[in-house]
Structure 1
Amino acid sequence: MSDVRVHRTRHSVDVDAQPGVVYGLIADAERWPLFFPPNVHVERLEFDGRDERLRMWATANGDVRSWLSERAQDPAARRITFRQTRPQAPVETMEGTWIVEERPGGGTRLVLLHDFTVAGDRFEDVRWVETATDTNSRAELASLKGIAERWTVLDDLVLSFEDSVRVHGPAELVYDFLYRIGDWPELVPHVSRLDFTEPAPGVQVMAMDTVTADGSTHTTESVRICFPHAGRIVYKQTATPALMEAHTGEWSVVPDATGVTVVSQHTVVLRESAVEQVLGAGAGLPQARRYVREALGRNSTATLNLAKRHAETAVRML
């Protein structure tokens, strides 16, 4: 390994927020998909208060990548070290450190370091990893700065809710309806167009046109990660409507002895600067929260009821 070249990058940003706030956002990796544009989904597999193991999905140069990562949190020093244990080619090794420093004049300097090696050290592969690391690091730091500097109003900007229906039919049929996203334009009335690819098993990348209650159409782009054995589909919108800065969600199918509960969960970060543009002069965050809750809930509930009808009709036809 002595002749393997280690490539190093350094990115930093000054944040007008307390170091504890910045460190807390970095430590809470499961919320990264909501706050960091490249991150699609994070699952915490193990955590003992210091050491943790994560399964992560993120976009890199337009591709959806996945890896396992080990992290060690040090809140006293405000540092978090990380190491990918199962990186995807062409990455051979990837590790680094988040460093949160208090600035003398107040606020925080956040530094992100990466050390990586590339199999064969081919120029084009090294350039690919450098570009992905630089693009993602800049996006993450800029987003984290924006979120941390709005920390005092974050509870008003973040909205989480769920809708559910009870299904008297097989869980497999409910999940099948939710998974077959390519059929939704024929099955789901509010979906007028949907293009999707499945670059890897269980990974779906899609662009969708949705008809709203007033008859207008908006386009979103999403990445979905499917877990058929767990009855779950998680997703992140990578291109959102104007009123939403970020949107993540999950479809879950939960069977029990008498049937199935199917749940749609949403978490949204509102784009405060767009509230009056979308909802009219004088509108504020309370109106935006109600509007988004009703719009997303209406479409989700309609889809849940269609999944319910699909499963229950199939049972009656047997």
Structure 2
Amino acid sequence: MSGMPGERVHRLRHSLEVAAPAGAVFALLADTARRPLYSPHVVHVERLDFDGVRERLRVWESAGGRIRSSLLVRVQHPHERRIEFVQLGGESPVDSMNGEWTVEEGANGRSVVTVRHEFTVAGGRDDDAAGEGLVTGDNARAELESLRRIAESRAGLDDLVLSFEESVRVNGPGELLYDFLYRAADWPGLLPHMRHLKLTEPSPGVQILDYDVRLPDGAVHPGASVRLCFPHAGRIVFKQTVPSGPVAAHTGEWSVLPDEYGVRVIAQHTVLLDESALLLDGAAPWAALRASERSGAGPVSPSVLELARRRVRQAIGRTSLAILELAGQHAESSVRSLPRRSAATAGSLP
């Protein structure tokens, strides 16, 4: 797809050699659900339909300091290890965007992964094209490097990824639960570990959070997240953009689900562990365990990995459960504070 007649098509190509089999790298690229974990600029992906070859996606991504969304069609050619993509209905200044991912076999079990982009900009303005080229190039290089790091990890991806959830049942209206989750700017005064939080909303439903949290060891660490809010569905999805410790990526969702028993508020998390941090962090609780095993520069051992998974699960779970419980208290206390009509006036007309 090359744009409308008369439009200038801009082409970019980025490649990287990866010390992993081509099939393993292609499997990472084909895994749409996990793309926010290995793609630094992708905030959230929702698959709208998929027939086994062609999929239609809604993608939110960071581009040039802002969050933009687009419809994306991807067509997978697994026998060729190739994925075509076409962006539909992108945001200004992009008029059209398409391209493909390819993975080729190299020597000694290595592979070469390449991403190509073709795009046009509205009006053909050179400054807009240059800016879009910089953004697309930066994102492509970051995504390739992240793919390389994950594909080359000695631990399997399934061992480095953990998914879990916390939930609380509440006797209160779902609207008030969602309201508390949405108003994250109020959290620092309620959560002891959160020292500071600045919330900005550059466009309706998109929130940028910058905050400081106190870790269990007493250290204060900066953090940042992007949140996408869907009030009619009772959902807030997020991606932590400044992870800490052994966490390479962290995505998740807050959701409010009414059922026949009341309302359940849920926090879902998916975390990608950073294998290099597990190998190098001498101050971490698993460092002594690694030393005792004399594992040297080899892969992370199952015992170290399990300890890291448990510690991360506990730390994130403790925080999210505290937020869920506060949301429940907020909803239930608001209901209790509503004025009640007396028996004498309950049957009278207003």
TM-score tier after normalising by the smaller chain length: over 0.9
| Partner residue, 1:302 | 322
Q: What's the offset of the Cα at 1:65?
A: 1.4
Q: Partner residue of 2:84?
A: 81
Which residue among 328, 331, 334 is the counterpart of 1:311? 331
2:221 maps to which of 211, 218, 221: 218
After the TM superposition, which residues 41-120 of structure 1 pair with which residues of structure 2 at under 5 Å, given as runs? 41-120=44-123
Q: Which residue of structure 2 aligns with residue 235 of structure 1?
A: 238
| Aligned residue number for residue 12 of structure 1 | 15
Equivalence for 2:343: none
Distance of 2:109 and 2:326 partners within structure 1: 54
Question: How far 1:104 sits from its partner (Å)?
Answer: 4.4
Distance in 2 between residues matched to 1:76 and 1:176, nearest whole Å: 48
Task: State the match for 2:301 in structure 1.
Answer: none
CA distance in 2, matches of 1:196, 1:278: 32
Q: Does residue 292 of structure 2 align to residue 272 of structure 1?
A: no
The 3-state SS of whatever aligns with 2:52 is: coil
Task: Give secondary structure in 2 for the equivalent of 1:285.
Answer: helix
Greater alpha carbon shift after TM alignment, 269-278 vs 1-10: 269-278
Distance of 1:139 and 1:278 partners within structure 2: 28
Alignment of 1:178-217 (within 5 A): 178-217=181-220
SS of corresponding position for 1:282: helix
Task: Find the counterpart in structure 2 of residue 165 from structure 1.
Answer: 168
Normalised to the residue count of structure 2, the TM-score between the two structures is: 0.87
Letter of the structure 2 residue corresponding to residue 285 of structure 1: L
Greater share of residues in strand = 1
Distance 1:80 1:106 in 2: 21
* Contact persistence 1:162–1:265 (CA under 8 A): yes
Counterpart residue identity of residue 156, structure 1: D
The range that moved more, 182-191 or 94-103, is 182-191
| Alignment correspondent of 1:23 | 26
Post-superposition Cα deviations, 1:75-131, rounded to whole Å, max 9, x if no partner, equal 111111111111110000000011111124432111101000001121221111000
The amino acid across from 1:90 in the alignment is P
Residue of structure 2 aligned with 1:291, choices 297, 304, 311 = 311
| DSSP 3-state at the match of 2:89 | coil
Q: In structure 2, the residue corresponding to 1:251 is in which secondary structure?
A: strand
Q: Aligned partners of 1:6 and 1:304: how far apart in 2?
A: 49
Residue aligning to 2:295? none
Q: Distance in 2 between matches of 1:106 and 1:267?
A: 30
Alignment-derived partner of residue 282 in structure 1: 288
| Structure 2 letter corresponding to 1:301 | L
CA positional deviation for 1:265: 1.1
* Distance in structure 1 (CA, Å) of the matches to 2:166 and 2:283: 25
Say if 1:242 and 1:278, in contact at 8 Å, map to a contact too.
no
Query: How far apart are 1:215 and its partner, in Å?
Result: 3.5
Structure 2: where are the runs of 5+ without partners?
Answer: 290-303, 339-350
Deviation at 1:303, TM superposition (A): 0.6
Instruction: Identify which range, 208-217 or 286-295, moves more after superposition.
Output: 208-217
- 2:294 corresponding residue in structure 1: none
Q: Distance in 2 between matches of 1:269 and 1:152?
A: 12
Name the structure 2 match of 1:245: 248
User: Could you tell me how far 1:294 is from its partner in structure 2?
Assistant: 1.0
Residue equivalent to 1:177: 180
Q: Secondary structure at the match of 2:331?
A: helix
Of 38, 41, 49, 2:41 maps to 38
SS in 2 for 1:279: coil
**Which letter does structure 2 place at the counterpart of 1:282?**
A
How far did 1:152 drift? 4.4
Cα deviation, 1:171-197, whole Å, max 9, x if unaligned, reads 111011000111112233332200121
Given that 1:11 and 1:137 are in contact with CA atoms closer than 8 Å, whether structure 2 keeps it comes out as: yes
- 3-state secondary structure, aligned to 2:148: helix
In structure 2, what is the Cα distance between the partners aligned to 1:213 and 1:106? Answer: 42
CA distance in 1 between partners of 2:282 and 2:227 (Å): 29
2 CA distance for matches of 1:59 and 1:110? 22
SS in 2 for 1:3: coil
Q: Which amino acid aligns with 1:172?
A: E
**How many Å separate the matches in 2 of 1:206 and 1:130?**
27
Q: Is the contact made by 1:243 and 1:278 (CA closer than 8 Å) also made in structure 2?
A: no
Q: Please, which of 136, 153, 159 is the counterpart of residue 133 of structure 1?
A: 136
> 1:131-189 deviations in whole A, cap 9, x for unaligned?
01100000000100111112643222212111111111111110110001111122333
Residue deviations 1:49-91, cap 9 Å, x none?
0111000011112211111111111111111111111111000
Distance in 2 of aligned mates of 1:215 and 1:138: 35
Shift of 1:285: 1.9
